[in-house]
Amino acid sequence: MKKLFVAAALLGGSAMASAQGTVNVICSVQAEWCSVISTVYARTTGTRINMALKGSGEALAQLIAEKDNPKTDVWFGGTGDPHLQAAEQGLTLEYKSPSLSQLHPWAQQQAKQSGYRTVGIYSGPLGFGYNPELLAKKKLPVPRTWADLLRPEYKGDIQVANPASSGTAYTMIATLVQLMGEDKAFDYLKALHKNVGQYTRSGTGPIKAVARGETAVSISFVHDGPGEKMQGFPVETITPSDGTGAEIGSMSIIKGARNLEAAKKFYEWALTPAAQELGAANKQFQLPSNAAAKLDPRIPDFKKIKFIDYDYAKYGASAERRRLIARWEKDVNSLPR
């Protein structure tokens, strides 16, 4: 709790603010980060946050279901593709933040291509998590390329999330399609399927399983590794040398928000350097979108990673996401392992 009071002071909360109403937030980042955001924001503004934790795929499904009677004001975090789909479907509100110029170009681009219905708040590269102790015990090599994951000795020892519920796994499919071409990417996914021991519901599930020795390798966002390692678990991360994609975690105000002014205030607060630094303070090591945010040394060095030229607009479109996930269900997930 001491950490929360320090964070509150850093954010200008030297005294409890008078009650400022309520804001309803769907939070699609890790639970501890969501909890600290809720506590610090309430203490520094007096605004109560009703926080619901949902993966980005589930969050989008909820917003679609509640379209005619929204119960959410702000959607914070989670991979950007579903945020772009929500923007395309008119589920989110056009809002051009006065803080945009303070953000990295990739965050501004996310806002621009959505018609200012979402904004980038962090970015993180896709890669592999692995348990060095388990690899040594099983005499398995560290995977360094996408092709390495197809080696027969990894059979049953790889976990990845289900793209129908996880933005992480959809980012994987979109990355492979752009890296290899669609047909070759699906041939790859069929071959990978034979080595997958489990498709988890959430994108963080696989690297947690790696950390706890339940599986040897995961396909994950690599920023999820250091937090597990800080808890004493044997886990390392690597990005494939043949190229990878990155998520742009995003934030959106919901169209028809019941607490619109409170939503805008939360949105502006979440774009400040101090608010974005709460991620690393809570063992979440994505690259913050505000260029003035102080960087923890455990945040991946983007200059050392080979990135593809990820087409966020194309692969963030609803029809493309539905089509690729449907093809994955039909061509890949239906196969025996």
**CATH number, domain with residue 44:** 3.40.190.10
- Answer yes or no: do 323 and 207 share one domain: yes
Indicate whether 177 and 323 sit together in one domain: yes
Residue 310 lies in a domain: no
Residue whose tokens read 């501890």? 32
For residue 80, being part of any structural domain is answered with yes
Residues 133, 258, single domain; the answer is no
Give 27's strand partners: 53, 76
**294 with 257, same domain?**
yes
Number of domains forming the structure of the chain: 2
Task: Name the DSSP class of 241.
Answer: T
Model pLDDT for residues 103-143, shown as the tens digit of each residue: 999 999 999 999 999 999 999 999 999 999 999 999 999 99
Alpha-carbon gap, residue 122 to 57, rounded angstroms: 18
Look up the domain containing 265 and give its range.
2-124+247-302
pLDDT class for 203, splitting at 50, 70, 90? confident
Residue 312 lies in a domain: no
What pTM was estimated for this model as a whole? 0.84
Flag whether pLDDT at 13 surpasses 50: no
Which H/E stretch holds residue 125? strand 119-130
Whether 73 and 25 map to the same domain: the answer is: yes
Cα–Cα nearest to 309, from 181, 175, 183 = 175
Same domain, 161 and 251: no
Cα 123 to chain centroid distance, Å, stands at: 8
